[in-house]
Amino acid sequence: MTQTLTLRRPDDWHLHLRDGAMLQGVLPETARHFARAIIMPNLVPPVVTGAQAAAYRDRILAALPEGMAFEPLMTLYLTEGTDPADVAAAHASGLVKAVKLYPAGATTNSHGGVRDLAKVTPVLEKMAEIGLPLCLHGEVTTPEVDIFDREAVFIDTVLDPLRRRIPELRVVMEHITTEEGVAYARAGGDRLGATITTHHLIINRNHILVGGIKPHYYCLPVAKREKHRLALRQAATSGEGRFFLGTDSAPHVDALKEHACGCAGCFTATNTMQLLAHVFEEEGALDRLEAFASLNGPRFYGLPANESTITLTKGAPAQWPAKIFTEAGPVTVFDPGFPVHWHVEG
Ligand code: NCD
Ligand code: ZN
């Protein structure tokens, strides 16, 4: 018996598209299934001003193949020099949908991020006033803090104090990876949302380290122990409005992943919807996939859900390319390590 599932077209609330040849190569992988995505600004150099975001948006739209529809939702990269007036203007024009805070040094291309939160308080207060969400990479960078504890310590020492100082600020905890992240998001009220990636629903830290190091499973925040993966699965499949899909699909060419100092990032744009159908079916929650992938995100961001739909069908083992060949080099597609039987039609 063929099982089919029709959903409002999904959106991706956390996506890395990069620029140039990489952008050209990976954009169709997202646009095939997703109507819109929140575009991360950690280019080199980063997308800091409204003018830079407008130019990047034009480059994304120029890279979109004929006949494909896709709306990039732009973000600004918060720096200690960011001008609150520029942020407000970029929001008022409809161009910018969020501002991204990277603690300096936390992840790929984050060295220009924020060292001292006090320096960005005027921007955050302006954002609270105009209702512009802050997307947070929620990890401390303190060298003494163990990499597996960096999210939980961030919540206690940075996020909670910040939200107490500026309670009106809308915050998205990006790519949560821990049960502490799930619990904090749940207790946070309707100004707090949290994105969950596809890969963090599938892998735990053993997948990265047991039986040889697997660089294509290395991402930041790094996957944690199994109890955290289970907490994320429960949250994503709960139907609760605060949890929504942000794939954090983060392409790096294989040469930089399979390296003595490999880059962080899993590339899941190609097979996210197939994998999510598999995960939600395992959790007995196929009827909640639409909330997670298509409804909760737009509601948090104050945007309408998409009118168009996609249909998933269950059948023969699904296949996708092991790699995407971009002009920048090959990019390995996330391999869940088990067969998947869900397909996206059309
Ligand atoms: C992202 C990247 O490569 O830009 N990497 C990752 O592991 N997720 C940055 C980020 O979102 O942390
Ligand atoms: Zn990311």
Domain of residue 177: give its range: 4-344
First to last CA, the chain: 20
Q: Which residues contact 210 (CB under 8 A, 6 or more apart)?
A: none
Coil vs helix vs strand at 88: helix
- Among all bound ligands, the one having the nearest atom to the CA of 46 is 1
Strands 329-332 and 71-77: unpaired
At residue 60, the 3 state secondary structure works out as: helix
For the Cβ of 108 lying below 6 angstroms from any atom of ligand 1, the answer is yes
Q: How far apart are CA 160 and CA 70, in angstroms?
A: 35
Token couple for 309: 């739909």
CB atoms within 10 A of CB 152: 23
222 close to 248: Cβ distance less than 8 angstroms: no
Q: Report how far residue 3's alpha carbon sits from residue 22's, in angstroms, rounded to the nearest whole number.
A: 35
| Helices 84-92/50-63 angle, 10° precision | 40
| Ligand 1 closest atom vs CA 264 | 7
User: 299: closest CA among 336, 245, 229?
Assistant: 245
Q: Is 248 a catalytic residue?
A: yes
How much is the pLDDT for 94? 98
Assess contact for 138 and 174: CB atoms under 8 A.
Answer: yes
- Residues (pLDDT < 70) of the chain are 1-2
| Closest among 83, 80, 126 to 101, alpha carbons compared | 80
Dihedral sign (CA 116, 120, 122, 124)? negative
CB 242 within 8 A of CB 188: yes
Query: Residues 150, 178: contact at Cβ < 8 Å?
Result: no
| CATH code where residue 251 lies | 3.20.20.140
Using the CB atoms, write b or e for 173-206: b if 16+ within 10 Å: bbbbbbbbbbebbeebeebbbbbbbbbbbbbbbe
The pLDDT of residue 108: 85
Tell me the two tokens of residue 21.
């040849």
Residue 340 half-sphere exposure toward CB, CA atoms < 13 A: 24
| Nearest in space to 172 (alpha carbons), one of 137, 220, 212 | 137
Residue from 219, 224, 249, 257 whose mutation best tests the ligand 1 pocket (most atoms within 8 A of CB)? 219
Q: Which amino acid is at 226?
A: E
From 23, 38, 42, 75, the mutation candidate for ligand 1 (largest count of ligand atoms within 8 A of CB) is: 42
Ligand 1 in reach of 208 Cβ (< 6 A): no
Residues with CB under 5 A from ligand 2 (ion): 248
Looking at the structure of the chain, the number of domains it has is 1
CA angle 293/298/303 to nearest 5° reads 155
Q: pLDDT tens digits, residue range 126-146? A: 999 999 999 999 999 999 999
Residue 50: both structure tokens together: 């409204």
Q: What is the pLDDT of residue 212?
A: 98
Question: pTM of the entire structure?
Answer: 0.98
The two three-digit tokens of residue 129, written as one number: 């006033």
From 248, 254, 287, 335, the catalytic residue: 248
* pLDDT value for 1: 59
| Ligand whose nearest atom lies closest to the CA of 107 | 1
**Contact by Cβ (8 Å): 7, 294:** yes
Model pLDDT, residue 107: 87
- CA angle, residues 311, 172, 150, in degrees to nearest 5: 115
